[in-house]
């Protein structure tokens, strides 16, 4: 057997053993695993609930398990903890952050908000608990349009932290919002020129994009939507080839649901890599997931005052969704 094939066999065996042990621990500890589509395939396969940010927040509000393992990034696990203050919420790697959340430091945002004191503050769920406490409403990319449209027309709106999603929402809703200058490094990495040439090479393919992408990318997209909306689109649409501008992890579920269709990750500027991966999301591994469930650490811990204040705009979002 060749060395590479031998290594692959060992990896598969390890994955199998870890997955079985995770299943066992889940039963013993009455734990549930919530995983985002951007997680590695092996994690997606052991998840009890796999979905986009909104779906996972909704599931976090429903589950009655003692332990929630959140296979995603910090703000997602933090949201699950805020919704479930008495439960143990674990994140396989506490360093799994988010460039969007990091682009909005709470003190700077409080000063920004003070300059627009008459505005309603809508924050994308990709932000810290502290920024949520400064918000009237939280939204995800699945429900952002609905949330913005729920605000009376005469009200001014601040939207944070994603300027790309914000600009897209201004176009979609016709609302004139003041935007915070934040962005996602993954969705800003796509190369417009390379996408154009890929579209030429695949004339029958549909190009679809997540609204965290820049406007020149969104302007040439056949369809724009959250990860779950992109997933629904590729299942329903007649096309058999799709070029996807979002984190490449979603391609695993797309291929699983549509084995006969072709999915091509949109190219990024960096020539050393073909697809766009979120380094934060990929900090979680199956092994870290096993360890965190086994040792019940690292755990998300927040003070109750912060959680009480951040829960208000999250609950408003869940009620409106």
Please identify, using beta-carbon distances, which residue of 26 and 210 lies nearer to ligand SF4.
210
Instruction: Tell me the H-state helices in the chain.
Output: 3-29, 41-46, 53-62, 74-83, 99-102, 106-114, 129-133, 144-149, 163-173, 192-201, 215-218, 227-236, 250-257, 286-295, 304-320
224 by DSSP, 3-state: which?
Answer: strand
DSSP 188-208: T-B-HHHHHHHHHH-TTPEEE
Which entry of ligand SF4, ligand 13P, none binds 99, CB below 5 to 8 A by partner kind? ligand SF4
Helix (H, G, I), strand (E, B) or coil at 271: coil
Stretch that binds ligand SF4, among 92-100, 111-119, 303-311, 312-320 (CB under 6 A): 92-100
Query: Is there binding between residue 247 and ligand SF4 (CB under 6 A)?
Result: yes
Asked if 186 is part of the footprint of ligand SF4 (rule: CB under 6 A), the reply reads yes
Residue nearer to ligand SF4 on the CB measure, 169 or 281: 281
281 near ligand SF4, judged by CB under 6 A: yes
Among 59, 84, 103, 126, binds ligand SF4 (CB under 6 A): 126
Report if residue 104 touches ligand SF4, rule: CB under 6 A.
Answer: no
Judged by CB, which is closer to ligand 13P: 79, or 140?
140
Question: Contact between 55 and ligand SF4 (CB under 6 A)?
Answer: no
Window of 82-90, 113-121, 275-283, 301-309 that interacts with ligand SF4 by CB under 6 A: 275-283
First to last CA, the chain: 54
CB of 209 to ligand 13P, least distance (A): 11
Which residue, 160, 96, 90, is CA-closest to 132? 160
What is the Cα 238 distance to its own chain's centre? 26
Task: Name the phi and psi angles at 136, rounded to 5.
Answer: -85, -35
- Residues forming the site for ligand SF4 (CB under 6 A): 73, 98-100, 126, 184-186, 212, 247, 278, 280-281
């Amino acid at each position: 057997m060749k060395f590479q094939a031998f290594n692959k066999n060992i990896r598969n065996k390890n994955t199998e053993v870890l997955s079985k042990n995770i299943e066992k621990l889940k039963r013993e500890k009455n734990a549930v695993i919530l995983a985002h589509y951007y997680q590695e395939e092996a994690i997606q396969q052991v998840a009890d609930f796999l979905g986009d940010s909104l779906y996972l927040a909704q599931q976090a509000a429903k589950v009655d398990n003692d332990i929630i393992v959140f296979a995603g990034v910090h703000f997602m696990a933090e949201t699950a903890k805020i919704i479930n203050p008495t439960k143990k919420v674990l994140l396989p790697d506490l360093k799994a952050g988010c460039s969007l959340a990091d682009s909005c430091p709470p003190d700077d945002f409080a000063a920004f908000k003070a300059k627009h004191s008459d505005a309603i503050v809508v924050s994308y769920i990709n932000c810290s608990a502290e920024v949520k406490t400064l918000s009237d409403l939280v939204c995800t990319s699945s429900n952002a349009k609905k949330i913005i449209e729920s605000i009376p027309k005469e009200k001014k709106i601040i939207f944070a932290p994603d300027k790309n999603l914000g600009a897209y929402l201004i176009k979609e809703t016709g609302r004139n919002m003041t935007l915070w200058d934040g962005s996602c490094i993954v969705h800003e990495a796509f190369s417009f020129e390379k996408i154009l040439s890929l579209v030429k090479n695949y004339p029958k393919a549909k190009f679809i994009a997540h609204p965290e992408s820049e406007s020149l990318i969104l302007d040439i997209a056949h369809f724009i939507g959250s990860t779950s909306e992109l997933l629904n689109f590729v299942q329903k649409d007649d096309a058999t080839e799709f070029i996807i501008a979002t984190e490449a992890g979603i391609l695993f579920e797309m291929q699983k649901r549509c084995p006969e269709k072709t999915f091509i990750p949109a190219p990024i500027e960096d020539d050393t890599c073909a697809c766009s991966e979120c380094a934060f999301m990929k900090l979680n591994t199956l092994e870290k997931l096993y360890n965190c469930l086994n040792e019940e650490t690292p755990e998300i811990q927040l003070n109750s005052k912060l959680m009480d204040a951040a829960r208000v705009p999250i609950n408003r979002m869940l009620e409106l969704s």
